[in-house]
Amino acid sequence: MDESARRLSHEELAVGQLLAGEGHHVRSVAESRRGGRHADLSVCGTPVEVKSFAPIDERTRIPGPRSVHNKLADAAGQARHVVLHGTGSGLSPAAVRQGLARWALRQGAEARLDSVRVLGDGYDLAWTRGAGRRPERRPDRGLDRGRGVDGR
């Protein structure tokens, strides 16, 4: 885990440490001097964007399918691989599945995301392009270079 390009947020660091613990080479990505949108992490040379949900005690309502869809829409302009950090937010696996399905249906062939991994309280779900519209439980193997977030 290399955080020398810039300090990561707590959520980005948690995701980076998880991926590094799975055997990946994880580096923070420096802010661009020209601004613009870019990924937060480089994982084995692949740009990965991290989006997080506020903790449940800082929210007025629990995130639902629309929240998942909105995070994906925002992330799509930054990287083709996304990790949503929902731990402590109240985000349910059902809301994740519905949000991912909504995203896949609305984006169709034009989707700019190749993979999505969602980490929540007691679950770790993944979706990859071409794997269907239903997210699956993440297998115990990790991300291999050149493969999707769920190891496929």
Contact in structure between 48 and 83 (CB atoms under 8 Å): yes
Query: Is the residue at 108 inside a domain?
Result: yes
Q: What is the CATH number of the domain that holds 106?
A: 3.40.1350.120
Least trusted range by pLDDT, from 27-31, 95-99, 117-121, 142-146 = 142-146
Contacts 24+ apart (CB under 8 A), 28-32: 28/2, 28/3, 28/4, 29/5, 30/5, 30/6, 31/6
Structure confidence by residue, pLDDT tens digits, 50-85: 999 999 999 999 999 999 999 999 998 899 999 999
Contact in structure between 19 and 143 (CB atoms under 8 Å): yes
Q: Indicate the number of domains in the chain.
A: 1
Res. 129 pLDDT band, cuts 50 70 90: confident
Domain that holds residue 107: 10-137
User: Which among 37, 40, 33 has a CA at the least distance from the CA of 19?
Assistant: 40
Task: Examine the pLDDT at 99 and tell me if it is beyond 50.
Answer: yes
Count of beta carbons in the 10 Å neighbourhood of residue 34: 5
Give residue 106's pLDDT.
78
Query: Is the residue at 85 inside a domain?
Result: yes
State the residue for tokens 């992490």.
41
Res. 12 pLDDT band, cuts 50 70 90: very high
DSSP helix/strand/coil, 46: strand
pTM recorded for the entire structure: 0.83
Integer-rounded Cα Rg, in Å, for the chain is: 14
